[in-house]
């Protein structure tokens, strides 16, 4: 009986709350300012769009490993190929003329990740403010060329993702400069941590470091037709020291933590020589981490110059102005890649790669690729360091068939 009375009182109270809320909403609708704002939200000013990309392929691979004079060869093939398969729908939400939200998840056949998730505010022409999980403006490949339907080759150049994506804020834009143009892109982000083997990785949203990382890219388009772009990038920030770290300062009295600095130059050139279009792209990137003392798996102390560099150059030729409707859809591409990681580190190697590809464009955003890649990686670590790579080499030959399209 007592329970019934309490329930009745609760229902009466709930009715009063609902009536009060409705009254407030009704009063709000009589407010001229609110009515004006609602009326201003005309159809078409807020839109949701789903785009993205799909990359699917087949790889036939032969791998030859050599260590201490002993060679072994493994052969494999994969449908879908988890290294190059990607399904990445991109959700775009536009609110008025000023606000744009972007979210691009990605599935590689095994894991779901996020390429970026941010919101942009278009303050004025040539001035955009962005915040969230952003692609850092370091070099040009990761931010502009990595999508399968844009990339002229089936795979990504080794090491071009050394900056990657991070949580931060960004200011981006560009302006005319006489007959030329220039652009800028600057970001402040959470940054990286130093790992026990000397590599670095992002701290993510947890931000265990107090310092932040500053990244920026300036680009100049010196020709009036914008066919040539030259960019310069830099990155600098302190590195967080995770719990349980085994590395130490080389100078015991030095209380400063490690830091990282990166530098990159990039080039993009497109030239039409009737009936052929020539497309040249290239990038050189380097990263330098403060030298520290490290401990190997046997607890021996060692150190090394923690410098990494990567470079690629590519050229593609397409008879896009040919009168032959079939021939003008073909494109021939070549790329060379060099990646050098620190000598005497546990992951030290000198990596070289040559890629050849014949593309057939089914439309301006859909391409079928037939590629051949050959790579060689030689270890550059002293054998005295446990698990060192010195004396080892790995050669890989791949035949790749790949389909890629923008959604």
Q: Are strands 165-177 and 86-95 parallel, antiparallel or unpaired?
A: unpaired
Position 255 scores a pLDDT of 79
- The residue assigned the tokens 């083997």 is 197
State CA 196 to chain mean position distance.
24
CA–CA dist 27, 94 (Å, integer): 30
Quick one: pLDDT at residue 122? 96
Q: Which helix (H) or strand (E) holds 90?
A: strand 86-95
| Predicted pLDDT of residue 7 | 36
Sign of the Cα pseudo-torsion (398, 399, 403, 406, in order): positive
Dump pLDDT digits (tens) for 346-394.
Answer: 888 999 999 999 999 999 999 999 999 999 999 887 655 555 556 688 9
Give the residue among 214, 199, 352 at the shortest CA–CA distance from 289: 199
Say how far apart CA 289 and CA 238 lie, in whole Å.
Answer: 10
Give the model's confidence band at 244: pLDDT under 50 very low, under 70 low, under 90 confident, else very high.
Answer: confident
pTM of the model: 0.84
- C-alpha to C-alpha distance for 218 and 232, rounded to whole angstroms: 5
The model's confidence at residue 326, banded by pLDDT at 50, 70 and 90, is very high
Strand partners, 70: 67
pLDDT at 392: 81
Q: What share of the chain is helix, strand, coil (3-state, %, to 5)?
A: 10, 55, 30
- Greater model confidence, 274 or 34: 274
Distance, in Å, from the CA atom of 236 to the CA atom of 245, rounded to the nearest integer, reads 22
Six token digits for residue 283: 């990038």
Tokens in use for 199? Answer: 């590599």
- Rounded Cα distance, 71 and 125, in Å: 60
Q: Report the alpha-carbon distance of residue 72 to residue 204 in Å, rounded.
A: 39
Q: Would you say 187 and 164 are in contact if contact means Cβ atoms under 8 Å apart?
A: no
Weakest mean pLDDT among 28-37, 104-113, 120-129: 28-37
- Predicted confidence (pLDDT) at residue 2 exceeds the cutoff of 70: no
| Sheet of strand 292-295, all strands in order from the earlier edge strand to the far edge | 248-249, 292-295, 301-302
- By C-alpha distance, which of 385, 349, 402, 397 is closest to 158? 349
Cβ-based neighbour number of residue 255 at 10 Å: 7
**CB 77, CB 59: distance < 8 Å:** yes
Beta-strand runs (E) in 319-391: 330-340, 349-363, 366-379
Q: How far is CA 353 from CA 125, 311, 335, 337, in A?
A: 41, 11, 8, 5
Helix (H, G, I), strand (E, B) or coil at 5: helix
Q: How many CB atoms are closer than 10 A to CB 45?
A: 11
Q: What is the C-alpha to C-alpha distance for residues 77 and 329, in angstroms, rounded to an integer?
A: 28
pLDDT for position 353: 97
């Amino acid at each position: 009986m007592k329970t019934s009375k309490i329930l009745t009182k609760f229902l009466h109270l709930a009715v009063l709350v609902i009536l009060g809320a409705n009254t407030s909403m009704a009063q709000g609708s009589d407010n001229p300012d609110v009515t004006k704002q609602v009326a201003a939200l005309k159809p078409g000013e807020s839109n949701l769009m789903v785009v993205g990309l799909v990359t699917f392929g087949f790889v036939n691979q032969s791998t030859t490993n050599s260590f201490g004079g002993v060679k072994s060869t493994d052969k494999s093939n994969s449908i879908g190929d988890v290294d190059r398969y990607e399904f990445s729908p991109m959700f775009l939400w536009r609110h008025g003329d000023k606000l744009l939200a972007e979210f691009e998840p990605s599935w590689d056949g095994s894991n779901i990740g996020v390429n970026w998730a941010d919101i942009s505010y278009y303050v004025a022409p040539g001035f955009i403010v962005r915040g969230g999980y952003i692609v850092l403006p370091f070099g040009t490949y990761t931010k502009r060329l990595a999508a399968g339907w844009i990339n002229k080759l089936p795979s990504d150049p080794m090491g071009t993702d050394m900056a990657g994506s991070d949580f931060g804020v960004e200011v981006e834009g560009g302006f005319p400069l006489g007959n030329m143009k220039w652009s800028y892109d600057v970001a402040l982000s959470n940054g990286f941590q130093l790992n026990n083997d000397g590599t670095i990785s992002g701290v993510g949203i947890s931000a265990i470091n107090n310092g932040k990382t500053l990244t920026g890219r300036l680009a100049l388009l010196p020709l009036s037709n914008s066919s040539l772009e030259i960019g310069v990038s830099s990155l600098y920030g302190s590195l967080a020291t995770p719990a349980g770290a085994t590395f130490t300062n080389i100078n015991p009295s030095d209380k400063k933590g490690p830091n990282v600095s990166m530098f990159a130059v990039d080039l993009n050139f497109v030239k039409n020589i009737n009936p052929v279009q020539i497309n040249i792209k290239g990038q050189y990137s380097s990263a330098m981490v403060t030298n520290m003392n490290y401990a190997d798996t046997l607890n021996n102390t060692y150190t090394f110059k923690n410098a990494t560099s990567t470079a690629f150059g590519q050229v593609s030729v397409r008879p896009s102005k040919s009168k032959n409707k079939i021939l003008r859809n073909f494109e021939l591409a070549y790329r060379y890649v060099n990646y050098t990681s620190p000598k005497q580190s546990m992951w030290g190697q000198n990596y070289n790669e040559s890629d050849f590809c014949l593309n057939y464009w089914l439309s301006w955003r859909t391409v079928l690729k037939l590629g051949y890649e050959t790579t060689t990686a030689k270890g550059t670590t002293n054998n005295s360091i446990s698990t060192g790579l010195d004396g080892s080499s790995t050669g890989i030959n791949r035949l790749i068939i790949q389909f890629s399209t923008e959604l």
